[in-house]
Amino acid sequence: LAPPRLAGRRVLVSAGPTYEDIDPVRFIGNRSSGKMGFALAAAAAAMGAEVTLVAGPVALATPPGVRRLDVRGAAQMREAVLAAAPGQDVYLGTAAVADYTPVQVREHKIKKTGETLVLELVRTADVLAEVAAHAQRPRLVVGFAAETEELEAYARDKLERKGLDMIAANEVGRAGQGFETDDNALAVFWRGGRHDIPRAAKGEVARQLLDLIADRLEAQ
Ligand code: PMT
């Protein structure tokens, strides 16, 4: 019997959204459920990898054999991912990290005094780009791209700009796949290549993506 394909590999996965607090009762977030990232963590562990999962606020059980670190905001996710990155073979940036966060978190609940409310936001650090530029960078840094149009052009732009080895793009505008759903479909790009994973349950899509990743690790 052949050993599992990811035996001896260390895989770091980020999953879910981040919540950026506005005041003690409100936050800015997005629609990620964490299902895709948790499916990747589960599939990587089943393929023999030692898996660390950094999870934003989600309502999902930890997959068997996976080490899980829970975080809330983008700054916390950055800290946890950068601390865990050295010594990893693969980073899978599945998390939908907030791009902007409030300049200040109000100490008390904001009262409904005006008809309009202006919130000042500031850009968050790009966790994926920082992992890719890290001195002790994982051998394969894989990003995700959630797009509603021009999938290939935007995904390839992120691949180059963020210094990635591979990017998995999903069209989040289509019903039944992408955010929150049980199914997904991915178009995977790397320099000089493309592979399409057709719509299937996220567990199956995860296994196919990890097979592509195992091919790349074995070719290195
Ligand atoms: O969680 P599910 O409901 O199962 O949905 C899965 C998913 C659609 C969220 C997932 O498959 C996905 O596409 N994740 C990435 C979503 C996203 O934030 O895409 P983006 O195009 O905004 O970001 C591109 C890449 O940069 C991502 O790898 C993201 O993790 C990373 N990023 C973005 C901003 C930031 N500040 N730091 C980052 O690391």
d(CA 164, CA 200): 25
Alpha-carbon distance of 145 to 126, in angstroms, equals 13
Q: Which of 78, 128, 171 to mutate to test the pocket of ligand 1 (most atoms within 8 A of CB)?
A: 128
pLDDT band per the 50, 70, 90 thresholds, residue 83: very high
Summarize the confidence of residues 143-170 as an average pLDDT. Answer: 96
Instruction: Supply the pLDDT for residue 197.
Output: 97
What pLDDT, on the 0 to 100 scale, is given for residue 178?
A: 87
> pLDDT, tens digit, for every residue of 18-43?
999 999 999 999 999 999 999 999 99
This prediction has a pTM of 0.97
Q: What number does CATH give the domain 10-105+119-219? A: 3.40.50.10300
Closest ligand 1 atom, residue 158 Cα: 24
Residue closest by Cα to atom 16 of ligand 1: 96
- Binding site: which residues? 99, 109, 144, 158, 162
- Indicate which residues carry an active-site annotation: 30
List pocket residues of ligand 1, CB cut-off 6 Å. Answer: 32-36, 74, 93-97, 99, 124, 126-128, 143-146, 158, 170, 172, 178-180
CA distance linking residue 214 with residue 72, whole number of Å: 30
Cα separation, 166 vs 194, in Å, equals 10
pLDDT above 80: residue 1: no
Strands 50-55 and 90-93 come out as unpaired
Mean pLDDT computed over every residue of the chain: 96
pLDDT tens digits, one per residue of 109-121: 999 999 999 999 9
